[in-house]
């Protein structure tokens, strides 16, 4: 059986971007993580150790977002790699990194990247 765990709307203030101003000033980001797994044992036993702990996922996302990257593509890939490496039971993973109010010429709410696999 396959189950889904979603951690949506992880709000982070970080310093990603190609512009020097972005490195100094920073900006607001939102990260969504969707994990396909099998938590049937946890559902029966009520044991946290038998599922993916979303507190751990939240901490990993915040740690990776604190490491500066020029591209949100790069930080997104780091998040994916870290979760796949350090979390047991992940069958498939989807990570979305949203950059709010990007400094581009135009009226844009956000830009986002999505990595699935």
List residues with catalytic annotation: 99
Neighbouring C-alpha atoms within 13 Å toward the C-beta of 112: 14
d(CA 36, CA 18): 33
Alpha helices in the chain (DSSP H): 20-25, 40-45, 54-65, 72-86
């Amino acid at each position: 059986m396959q189950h889904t765990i979603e951690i949506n709307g992880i709000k982070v203030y970080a310093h990603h971007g190609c512009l020097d101003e972005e490195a100094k000033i920073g900006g607001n980001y939102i990260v969504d993580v969707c994990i396909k797994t099998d938590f049937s044992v946890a559902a029966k036993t009520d044991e946290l150790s038998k599922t993916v702990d979303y507190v751990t996922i939240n901490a990993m996302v915040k740690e990776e977002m604190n490491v500066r990257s020029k591209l949100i593509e790069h930080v997104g890939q780091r998040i994916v790699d870290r979760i796949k490496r350090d979390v047991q039971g992940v069958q498939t993973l989807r990570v979305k990194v949203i950059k709010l109010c990007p400094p581009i010429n135009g009226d844009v709410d956000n830009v986002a990247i999505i990595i699935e696999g």
